[in-house]
Amino acid sequence: MRTRFFNAYVITCNDKFDVYENGEVWVEDDKIVYVGKPKNGFMADRTINCLGDVLMPGFVNAHAHVPMQVLRGMAEESSFHGWWNAYIRPKEQKMRPDDIYWSTMLGIAELVHGGITSVLNNYFEQPSTVQAFLDGGIRAAVGVDVQYKVQDDLRYKDWENRFAALYKDSPLLTYFVTSHSIFSVNERGLNDCTRIAKKYKLPQTIHLCETLEEVGNCVKERNMTPVQYLEDIGFLDYPTTISHGVHVDKEDMDILYRTKTNVAINVSSNMKLASGIPPIYSYQQKGINLAIGTDSVASNNSLNMFREMFLVATTQKALLHDASVMPAKDVIMMATRGGAKALYIDDRVGQLKKGYQADIIRVSCNGIHWEPNNDKIANLIYSAHADDVVMTMIGGNIVFENGNYYIGESIERIIKMSREVAKRILDC
């Protein structure tokens, strides 16, 4: 399939952040074959006039729990530890494999509707999740968790057995070794993570420094911050993406920079659970790679990258009393290139570039909230809505266009099944 996009405001997200106001992007099968000014010489099967809309790389959601969609609105007005222990974990334990499949499919629909083409997903019962990702045609980094309930001497083999059964050789799937947190996985379990990551050449991910309670308990028990603890046990010796990073000090940042650790920030979730606001500008000034995640809709209520980008920019301006920090261009790069780097797929995803995967979104600029369209880059951060996305393409396949979903199941069936799952879990 050969597709030609023309008459587009093309944001490349390349090293120079090149923008083509009347640009074209050509796609052949799953790859981009041309990005730039209009020219002849491409025989397309389909030609799409973008009518001046933004054409850009799809967003990369660097931290999510997509199967938690059916838990949206079930644990409101609660801070993190009460939210997780008293509400979320008991509900999750009632979810069956089919429940997780339909909940994931609901999440995939929301992701592609909002222009998210790649996601780093963390959840148990991975077979159901992987099947949904394959059916939905979304690019996913699948976190295979190290089970904290398994006996220490069985944990390593348990992970290997589950990974062998789970692994699918698909161009859309990559894998991470996942440990939930330093307070749910003991030191031997964390060491097992690193051993597994090295053996299988996989990156790893962990929730870290999300709450003051987590940091305080770690300092009290070990006389080290969580970041210092992970460095001390060698966890950060291998490629790692941490999620949250709300409460860190200068030494922590030095360690994260030195170990080339990525930080996936989740501003909406952190604010809603009263965990705090991450020091995004300080991370940026340190040179640490930053990516943006939504976390789950159980804590965030939305898989909306536009809202996350708005908050990334505005929280830092407000905290620092400096309107010049976090320019729109930098935030867009976090949501695309930064995310691709955090997923370790930046050699093929995250920018519109010849030879890269055709993960492309079209964002309509026709809404009244865009007018008079003085600055489309700024509008993407401060004005745009997720509903402005009118097309999402992943690997050359259109999975969402003009309100229609092409994700392996009808949206009507996905909603029906998800509602049934949610009702059963609430009634249990």
* Residues 136, 408 contacting (CB under 8 angstroms): yes
- Structural domain for 44, as ranges: 2-58+351-405
pLDDT confidence bin for 84, thresholds 50/70/90: low
- 222: tokens are 């070990």
Q: How many domains does the chain have?
A: 2
Residues 336 and 371 in one domain: no
Sign of CA dihedral 140, 141, 142, 147: negative
Residues 375 and 227 in one domain: no
Omega prior to 372 cis, within 30 of 0:
yes
pLDDT in tens, 239-293: 999 999 999 999 999 999 999 999 999 999 999 999 999 999 999 999 999 999 9
Rounded mean pLDDT of 144-170? 90
- What is the overall mean pLDDT for the chain? 95
* Encoded amino acid at 218, one letter: C
Cβ-contact 86, 107 below 8 angstroms: no
CATH number, domain containing residue 50: 2.30.40.10
Q: CA-to-CA distance for 428 and 417, rounded, in angstroms?
A: 17
Does 21 lie in the same domain as 64?
A: no
> pLDDT digits over 159-195, tens only?
999 999 999 999 999 999 999 999 999 999 999 999 9
Q: Is the pLDDT of residue 149 over 90?
A: no
- Give the pLDDT of residue 75: 66
Distance CA 199, CA 344 (A): 17
For the stretch 326-345, pLDDT in tens is: 999 999 999 999 999 999 99
Percent of the chain at pLDDT exceeding 90 = 87
Residue 69 structure tokens: 């969609």
Supply the pLDDT for residue 93.
77
Is the distance from CB of 79 to CB of 274 less than 8 angstroms? yes
Residue 384 sits in the same domain as residue 264: no
340 phi and psi angles, rounded to 5 deg: -60, -40
Could you report how far apart the first and last alpha carbons of the chain are, in Å? Answer: 48
Does residue 140 carry a pLDDT above 70? yes
Q: What is the pTM of this model?
A: 0.96
For residue 419, tell me if it sits in a domain.
no
Contacts of 305 (CB under 8 A, 6+ apart): 59, 61, 114, 115, 116, 292, 294, 335, 386
Domain boundary among 292, 317, 342: 342
d(CA 340, CA 338): 5
Does residue 400 belong to any structural domain of this protein? Answer: yes
Q: Above 90 in pLDDT, residue 76?
A: no
User: Does a structural domain hold residue 417?
Assistant: no
Q: Is residue 422 part of a domain?
A: no
Model pLDDT, residue 428: 65
Residue 298's pLDDT is what? 83
Q: What is the pLDDT of residue 344?
A: 98
Residue 296 · residue 65 · CB < 8 Å: yes
